[in-house]
Amino acid sequence: MSRAACLLVIISLMSPAAEALDNGLALKPTMGWLHWERFMCNIDCDTDPNNCISERLYMQMADVMVKEGWKEAGYEYVCIDDCWPSHQRDAQGRLQADPKRFPGGIKKLADYIHSKGLKLGIYADVGDKTCAGYPGSLGYYEKDAQTFADWDVDLLKFDGCFMNRALLGEGYINMSKALNNTGRPILYSCEWPLYEWPLKQPNYTAIRETCNHWRNFDDVFDSWSSVKSILDWTAAHQDIIVPAAGPGGWNDPDMLVIGNFGLSHDQQESQMALWAIMASPLLMSNDLRDICPRSKELLQNKRIIDISQDSMGKQGYRTAKGNDFEVWERPLSKNRLAIAVLNKLETGGPRGFNIGAAPGWKICGPQCNVTQILPQYKEMGVQTQQSKIIVSVNPSGTALLTVTPISSDFRRLHKLNWQGTFVRRKHTIL
């Protein structure tokens, strides 16, 4: 990033973020499970009853979420994506679930999910049809919002297929109002900017006022190239999108695909670490009924989740790049900083990176406490500006650390700003 661009980010991040959608939700990045990447539009319940889009899938996922520690780790929303409805609306014009795959209907499913202490998400589209060709909500925003509220749904993912792009903003805003008018708090997950980017630069102030999170870029696939492309897009647009994130509204780089088929363990660690740094919703799309213990442990890693859910709610971003390494940093509450070092070189073996070269290392003064979280948990103890800490990072893997300044005098005298540089307080009491 150029100095001027860097300054711009600093200025915009120091000024208060635009108002978030005021529905009291998503004060921290949403955590849960969403069916799309893993189960797609599998509606073949005759030959594949275990994996088809049916009430059974969500009930089983909810059961596992409670039994296997997911709920306890913070994963709360069980979310339906596309392909749940019948192709026809009912006689009153309401959306209805496919009767064969959801014999109990969505209200009953919501009751079940709630009985487990979890929340239910559903999917619809701002345009004529959903991306998979099911009925869209255009012309039915109030009706659909009321239907979802009547069913006690807790989250709506609102897609943007089959919509006149010039009317996207209006559509998303109208649905936001319709949800609000139901009086039920329904977390609103939008794809507005993703569909608007080809037309113009989205207005993130308006998006933040309208949505609780918003997709900016392509759908995630179960591959490292897909995860990398999301990171590259995010870094390339960070000046625009990072300032928009904060409690109540988040950039959404799409689902976590950890626990599936396409990512090596190092790559899974990279996705988990970087999604935490980016203050992204943590919506897993995998089969929790059948997941390998290492992926499970990673997804439930409390230290990484703590970074994701940090109360300050500032999104991190890429602060340095070179020698096939990328440094991503996120300012945390209590003056702490999370540093992720991604090894982009996909050849050779582990490579050493001197943490002192991370721009945010400045906060380690005069002393700091360093904890390494990935690839292994390690308390690195008290360090100074001069310490030379070399972390070893595997190809396409990530080292993740937190740095905590420890001198109380230092904290009294200085106020740490978001980027890890120091602003001297006007009135210091010595």
Regarding 172 and contact with ligand GLA (CB under 6 A), the answer is no
CB 295 within 8 A of CB 256: no
Q: Please, where are the H alpha helices in 136-264?
A: 141-150, 168-182, 192-196, 204-210, 224-236, 238-241
Query: What is the distance between the alpha carbons of residues 167 and 196, in angstroms, rounded to a whole number?
Result: 10
CB of 219 to ligand GLA, least distance (A): 5
Q: Which is nearer to ligand GLA, 36 or 361 (CB)?
A: 36
Cα–Cα distance measured from residue 301 to residue 372, given in angstroms and rounded to the nearest whole number: 13
Tell which residue, 11, 5, 12, has the closest CA to residue 244: 12
Which of the ranges 124-132, 260-268, 276-284, 337-345 carries the binding residues for ligand GLA, by CB under 6 A? 124-132
Q: Select 191 or 266, whichever has its Cβ closest to ligand GLA.
A: 191
98 binds ligand GLA (CB under 6 A): no
Q: Does 191 bind ligand GLA (CB under 6 A)?
A: yes
Parallel/antiparallel/unpaired status of strands 282-284 and 77-79? unpaired
DSSP string covering 131-152: TTSSBP-TT-HHHHHHHHHHTT
Determine, following the binding rule CB under 6 A, whether residue 132 of this chain makes contact with ligand GLA: yes
Least distance to ligand GLA, CB of residue 248, Å: 22
In the block, tokens 């943490």 appear at 355
Is residue 159 within the footprint of ligand GLA (CB under 6 A)?
Answer: yes
Integer Cα distance of 152 and 143 in angstroms: 14
Total binding residues toward ligand GLA, as defined by CB under 6 A: 9
* 219 given a catalytic annotation: yes
Q: Which of 31, 57, 131, 327 binds ligand GLA (CB under 6 A)?
A: 131
Q: Is 274 in the site for ligand GLA (CB under 6 A)?
A: no
Annotated catalytic residue, options 219, 232, 239, 324: 219
Q: At its nearest, how many Å lie between ligand GLA and the CB of residue 282?
A: 15
Instruction: Answer whether 159's CB lies under 8 Å from 124's CB.
Output: yes
In angstroms, the CA 284 to CA 63 distance is 15
Q: Name residues contacting ligand GLA, limited to 218-247 (CB under 6 A).
A: 219
**Residue 81 CB, nearest approach to ligand GLA (Å):** 5
CA dist., res. 375 & res. 399, Å (int): 6
| Shortest separation between residue 36's beta carbon and ligand GLA, angstroms | 5
- Interface contacts to ligand GLA, rule CB under 6 A: 36, 81-82, 130-132, 159, 191, 219
Active site residue ranges: 159, 219
